[in-house]
Structure 1
Amino acid sequence: MHEINEKEIILVEKFKKLLQEAPGMLECQKDLDKFAEEVSKTLYNLLIEILVYSIEKLDDKIKESEEVKENWRNIKRDYRTILMPHAVVVYKRRYYQHKQTGEYSYLVDKFLGIDSYQRLSQHYEEKIRSLFKVHKSFAGVLKELARASNPLK
């Protein structure tokens, strides 16, 4: 059975706190739309924390795998920033060197299909490409992205 760690406890507590405070928030707001917007923002921030936590846990799992222990040398840990719709996700991951070939790699990025210099999530990249088919100008695409990045307004 999985033992819950400190970070998981914090995430669960944040969700429980939202559930406990939600009725009072609604009563104070007296406006269902504003209440929904406030709850959505809180949940989205929690989602980002869960994404970062999950990526970093996967990085830990990769580090502990026998294949990695035998064939790769852990060099350092670096931050990575990925832009996603409505969010910027910043996480830490390990940089490795292959013991035989000398190849360098961020194995968690490789596992997730994130290219070396990729700064946009695959979904966000596809969304931007599709917007260029609709809007013929860069300004039109930026305007649409700005509108889409704040869906609650």
Structure 2
Amino acid sequence: MHSQPISDIQPLADIILLLGEKVSKLITECRDFYKLEEEVYKLSQEACVKIFAWALEEIDTWLVNARDKRTWKVIGFRERTVVSSFGEFKVKRRLYRNKKTGEARFLLDEVLGWPERSRCTPRLKEMAVKLGSEVPFRRAAEILGYFVPGISAMAVWQAVQEAGEALRQEGESRREAVFEKGETPEGKEKTSRLYIEADGVVVRLQRSGEKRKEVKLFVAYTGKEAIGGGRKALKDKLVTSGVGEGERMWEEVYSGVASRWDMGQVKEIYLGSDGAEWAKQGVD
């Protein structure tokens, strides 16, 4: 991409001027520390939402001018709801049609790597996933609500689901490359010894025909190191988990391990488990 002037910065100036006016009003009227902090934060969020929306529209305008006009024709605008770390807003972006193939695409979404059906922005999704994997979704939404107005437990759940599906597909792609396409992983890190531990935990399922499912957990590492207080931590830890069959999961584990470590340098591999049959398959 080459740079070009922003089409119109007046909207940005208007946002900043309006923010200044509202803060000035607070300065003359507010005499409560908590309230002042709360209101300044809310005003800042409102301004950030408007600036974010404006920035997206400016990129969309840049793209319409930079596109290959022989290939892409604008066929209209479509509105999309965005839930960001600043709050929720709507943005209009151009829908294009390929004159040769008839394919319809949003160039803005594509250039920014913005998933088609995801309402949450990548940054908010990252925050939601980190919280949602540590505490219940409702509690995660409550905590995020202090910073992001209107986020729901369902939004947190959806963010975690999307992140999990992306990781599942990534692991499956690595497994297929090694065990179905015959590709050789090219791990770069070097170690002469690897430890791999496997265990399972049974979890209750919701909205499923099955009541319970075993999640298979694997951790690979190169050793242990003292961290003080008589405790030790795993070195170079690599974690894999899933609900697939034992052999398939071990294939995914191996492809992940071999993509990180140079297996030609590994002289010893120690496997540890509680003796479950699927865990013993790792030896094979």
Tell me which interval the TM-score lies in, with the shorter structure as reference length: 0.7 to 0.9
Tell me which residue corresponds to 1:15: 19
Tell me which residue corresponds to 2:59: 58
Q: Can you list the C-alpha shifts for 1:34-65, whole angstroms capped at 9, x where unaligned?
A: 11111110111010000001101111111111
Change (3 A) 1:108 1:4: closer
> Is 1:79 matched with 2:79?
yes
Tell me how far apart the structure 2 counterparts of residues 107 and 84 of structure 1 sit (CA, whole Å).
20
Percent of pairs with identical residues: 20
Tell me how far apart the structure 2 counterparts of residues 3 and 117 of structure 1 sit (CA, whole Å).
29
> What are the within-5 Å matches in structure 2 for residues 39-118 of structure 1?
39-65=40-66, 67-85=67-85, 87-118=87-118
The letter of the residue matching 2:139 is: K
Q: Number of aligned pairs?
A: 144
**Contact persistence 2:6–2:58 (CA under 8 A):** no
Change (3 A) 1:145 1:108: same
Tell me which residue corresponds to 2:123: 123
Across the aligned residues of Structure 1 and Structure 2, the Cα RMSD in angstroms comes to 2.3
Change (3 A) 1:19 1:126: closer
Gaps of 5+ in 2: 149-284
Gaps of 5+ in 1: none
More strand by share: 2
Tell me how far apart the structure 2 counterparts of residues 125 and 117 of structure 1 sit (CA, whole Å).
13
More helix by share: 1
Change (3 A) 1:68 1:149: farther
Tell me how far apart the structure 1 counterparts of residues 16 and 122 of structure 2 sit (CA, whole Å).
28
Tell me how far apart the structure 2 counterparts of residues 5 and 73 of structure 1 sit (CA, whole Å).
26
